[in-house]
Structure 1
Amino acid sequence: MQTTVVSSWKQFMELSATLDGWAFRGQQDAEWPLLSSLSRYMLAYVEDRSQWRAREERAIRIFRRKAHNFVQHPSLLDDDLRCLSLMQHHGAPTRLLDFTKSPFVAAFFALERSVSDVAIFALNTPVLWNNRALPKGTPELTRTLIDPRVDGNLEKYFLDNSNAVVWFGEPEEMDDRLIAQSGTFVVPGVIDRPLPDILDGYASDDELLRKIVLPSSVRGDAMKWLYRMNITNASLFPGLDGLARSIAVEIEMVWPAAPLG
């Protein structure tokens, strides 16, 4: 994985323009590994890895049994990826990694509450989409074959944690948050390894993953540009919660020519 350290927001914008069609994920600390929330939870609290599948299956089963009380269309819970998406967006640990098709949305999530250098990971989704990158040991496991939107595929190719594969995409029906964030999900086939390690096992002539580091010195300029682009919590999280979360940035954005209040 190539790592690029940019020295300015302008350089980041110029670099991101060369990654047309890629997907992006922002992380608030450049040293954090690229792991899902479920990976971090299992590695920290479930030492016996032989129990991981049963624990993950139980978590999904409990969510399905109870979430029908809170969703307008409970039948959506029957869709594996849609169910995981709901779990993810409401705070449950899942194997999904949130990515976005916008490098600027990724930058916002990385920078908003950062106090150190941040990282934007860029994934070459066009190459993965066209199966120009396939796992070396199991090239038959194409993106189409393992699609977790297909009934039974989550159990067959992912829950067993034995297939070092990566799938990306969205549920057939996207919620308002996923739409607002230009979101997409990356679904790893194993949860004990960070995404770069899994992709190292792929055969490809193309670069699959890049890490872009934004130093903390870039944050002030970047946040002003993102504010001008209307990339805020209010636009990314539709509703009162998003509006309330956006007020923190409003505290920073006091324009010299604008009256307070």
Structure 2
Amino acid sequence: MKASSPLEVEHYQEQAIEYFLNLPIWPEFDIHNKQIDGLIPSCRVNSWEEFDQVVKHYCENDLDGNYVFRGQKHYQWQLEPTLDRLVKGAVKADLAAKHLSNFRFSTRGRLNDKSILDKDSELWALGQHHGLATPLLDWSLSPYVALFFAFEGEDDATWFDDNGDCNNYSRTIFILNKVFIQDLGFDDLEPDGTSLKIVEPSIDDHGRLVNQAGLFSLAPYGETLESSLYTHLTDSGVDVDDVEKVSKYICRIHIPNKPDTRFSCLKKLRKMNIHHASLFPDLIGSSGYCNDLIRDVINSSMNKSESVQVEKTAEEIIKETHASSPWAMHKLPKDVTGLLLQALIVDGSLKAKTNPNNLSKVVDELIDFINEKAGVDWYKKDSMLARLRNIVRRSLRRQQFPDDFIDVATEALISKSAAMSADVESMASKGIK
């Protein structure tokens, strides 16, 4: 797979920010970008706390559970079952039948309740909760359970750019009108992959369905849930070109995604008894719950450490005014900017072609990254050196640095920075202040 260039990454980030900010605020809906939204009306809230307004709207007078909810971690993820993802498209009936037959055969001697084998829906549901790729999509009658599944995982490493910024700006909650699908008249029949259905298994071997208020949707084989739903909406006389009307049957809410707000959201949900141990009543749930608790302890300790460090840094800055050495903070101080600027002038002609103020921005960006994110001994790590090269190249391009000299100037700047950082660490290890 070809790696994305820095310019491509930057362009993607701009698109992602633009997409999120151009979504209407709840309760207004729009299909702003069909590549992302598909056929699903979408909107955003300003914070996870504002999701309470959404919950109130859908649940306050909904005693019969007309709506179901599904949380997803990345704003671009579609309503795509795991089996569809595996085959890279809507799964066909013959492949689904073969897959289920293989699973039914492989469960021999592993099931206490063999009645599960008599119904495809029960067997699919069993597989779904044990890692089998299936055509089912998980939903919950509880919007807060959906919120938990949207926010419970940390941001994936592939969602970060070379500057360490996450480009997944929102996590999403899908809302589906369950009763409309049930009223189509197919819910009382054994799913055969020919029609859109809600699947509510009667067997729950580990208690997960009950604890998660869970059920499933099953789209016809060869179709997606949204395309099948649109067909039924059209047949029912619903104007599918009216976004507000369609939003009463299916919609998506985008919630800002930030690490600090993610932790506060999960803390609130834990107080509501929504956490791994309650949703997964087995050892996997216990492990996940304990992992969450220890993360809270670690984050709390880090926050305290950071507050102490702020005070210490302020004191060091005062001392640095009277210190004879520029290395008092054991970091690259800002007064080395001039030295690093000289490293960028790798050819005499560049003095007339570049603006020192613009190049200072390149150097400052590099110093800030080294001091805040690169870590100790960064200059010994090939992965970090490669990352810094990308940052510098991209920054130089922003400042209209001549293309012919970008690579050699980048290497010169990184080499000079590495030498300075090595000197800082050497002095620090010797106790020189």
Aligned match of 1:183: 214
Which gives a bigger RCO, structure 1 or 2 (Cα 8 Å, sep 6+)? 1
| Aligned counterpart in structure 2 of residue 98 of structure 1, from 138, 142, 148 | 138
- Equivalent position SS for 1:60: helix
Deviations 1:60-102 (A, max 9, x none): 1121122131111112211111111011111111110011111
Structure 1 gaps of 5+ residues are 132-141, 257-261
Aligned match of 1:78: 118
> Contact between 2:93 and 2:221, CA under 8 Å: does it hold in 1?
no
Matched, 1:234 2:277: yes
- Aligned partners of 1:190 and 1:75: how far apart in 2? 25
Letter in 1 for 2:118: D
Query: Matched residue pairs, number?
Result: 227
Aligned match of 1:138: none
Structure 2 gaps of 5+ residues are 1-39, 60-64, 156-167, 239-244, 301-433
- Aligned partners of 2:133 and 2:58: how far apart in 1? 29
Deviations 1:110-159 (A, max 9, x none): 10114232111000113333x2xxxxxxxxxx333x6453xxx51xxx1x
> Contact between 1:9 and 1:221, CA under 8 Å: does it hold in 2?
no
Deviations 1:183-211 (A, max 9, x none): 01001113443x22332222254521010
Q: Cα–Cα, structure 1 residues 244 and 56, in superposed 2: closer, same or farther, change >3 Å? A: same
Matched, 1:6 2:45: yes
Q: Indicate the larger mover: 245-254 or 174-183.
A: 245-254
Give the alignment's TM-score, normalised by structure 2.
0.49
Matched, 1:222 2:265: yes
Q: Cα–Cα, structure 1 residues 80 and 122, in superposed 2: closer, same or farther, change >3 Å? A: same
Give the alignment's TM-score, normalised by structure 1.
0.79
| Aligned counterpart in structure 2 of residue 168 of structure 1, from 171, 189, 198 | 198
State the percentage of identical aligned residues. Answer: 30
| Aligned counterpart in structure 1 of residue 232 of structure 2, from 202, 208, 215 | 202
Larger radius of gyration: 2
Aligned match of 2:377: none
- Aligned partners of 2:48 and 2:264: how far apart in 1? 7
- Aligned partners of 2:198 and 2:52: how far apart in 1? 24
Q: Greater share of strand residues, 1 or 2?
A: 1
Provide the aligned C-alpha RMSD in A: 2.2
Matched, 1:42 2:91: no
- Equivalent position SS for 1:35: coil
> Contact between 1:23 and 1:101, CA under 8 Å: does it hold in 2?
yes
Aligned match of 1:213: 254
Deviations 1:224-248 (A, max 9, x none): 1111112111111111111012222
- Equivalent position SS for 1:70: coil
